[in-house]
Amino acid sequence: MQPGAAVIKAAIIDLDGTMLDTVPDFELALNAMRAEFRLAPITQDVIKPMVGKGSEKLIRDVLSLDFDPDRVESVYDEAMAAYQRHYLAINGERSRLFDGVIEGLTALREQGLRLACVTNKPISFTTPLLAQKGLAPFFELVYGGDSLPKKKPDPLPLLQVCSDFDLPPQQVVAIGDSSNDAEAARAARCYVLTVPYGYNHGRPVQEIDSDGIVNSLLDAATLIRAHNGV
């Protein structure tokens, strides 16, 4: 966050690992899917590093724990359908808000920032989850991993938000928990802040090229306020 730089007018915020701890939901849905293939349950510790690259990669990674590549591809469609069915049935049942999320979103909105949620989670999972957890009213825009032709770490979703908001990327900050968020933001030429409590594919958050690590969305709002000089 550079002194004297353009005022930040919008924030693009990730979902899984940034606003919500959704791994317990993944555990339920994935193990229900695995049971249909007579596979043993897997733990949250196994699942957590797999989260964040989209459902397609998640299902292939989970199947790859037991099946060779040819077998993975042969059962992929059936497994994906089962996973989606089970996830929709339990969506939000065990997920929880991280500390400071509501307070942070409130503070960002009070500063006049426009807010968008961009996640690699399918939009059919995302919109009901945001509504269930009381997050939907904060966001003008919501894009899931299947809303656009490309997902993070491609910059397209972030650039789409910039276009929708009619703002240059230099006036937009992305807030996330993983290298996906940072790589997308860097490619889009947005600022990027990272939270340390998320998933990041099992890698330390300190390895991410970002403009700062913030302990919560409320801390992010405080940093943005200071950057904007208000």
* DSSP of 43-92: -HHHHGGGTTS-HHHHHHHHHHTTS-HHHHHHHHHHHHHHHHHHHHHHTT
What pLDDT does residue 6 have?
87
Residue 16, marked binder = yes
Q: Which residues pair with 63 in a beta bridge?
A: none
What's the one-letter identity of residue 102?
I
Residue 219, marked binder = no
Per residue in 177-210, pLDDT (tens digit) is 999 999 999 999 999 999 999 888 778 888 899 9
Q: Is the pLDDT of residue 135 over 90?
A: yes
Residues 5, 16: contact at Cβ < 8 Å? no
Residues 25, 94: contact at Cβ < 8 Å? yes
Residues 6+ positions from 84 with CB-CB distance below 8 Å: 55, 122, 124
* Confidence class for position 115, pLDDT limits 50, 70, 90: very high
Residue with tokens 């992010």: 220
Per residue in 12-35, pLDDT (tens digit) is 999 999 999 999 999 999 999 999
What pLDDT does residue 55 have?
87
What pLDDT does residue 75 have?
97
Per residue in 50-81, pLDDT (tens digit) is 987 788 999 999 999 999 999 999 999 999 99
Residue 99, marked binder = no
Q: What tokens does 71 get?
A: 């077998």
Q: What percent of the chain has pLDDT over 70?
A: 98
Which residues does the annotation mark as catalytic? Answer: 14
Cα 120 to Cα 29, 142, 147: the distances in Å are 17, 11, 9
Q: What tokens does 144 get?
A: 């899931």
Cα 218 to Cα 60, 101, 112, 162, 226: the distances in Å are 35, 7, 15, 23, 13
Q: Measure the CA–CA gap between 53 and 221, rounded to whole angstroms.
A: 26
Q: Measure the CA–CA gap between 37 and 129, rounded to whole angstroms.
A: 27
> For 198, which DSSP code?
S
Q: What tokens does 205 get?
A: 């958050």
What pLDDT does residue 77 have?
97
Residue with tokens 């300190």: 206
For 143, phi then psi, to 5°, come to -120, 130
State the DSSP H helix or E strand holding residue 129, giving kind and residue range, or none if neither: helix 123-132
Q: Is the pLDDT of residue 83 over 60?
A: yes
* Confidence class for position 3, pLDDT limits 50, 70, 90: low
* Confidence class for position 2, pLDDT limits 50, 70, 90: low
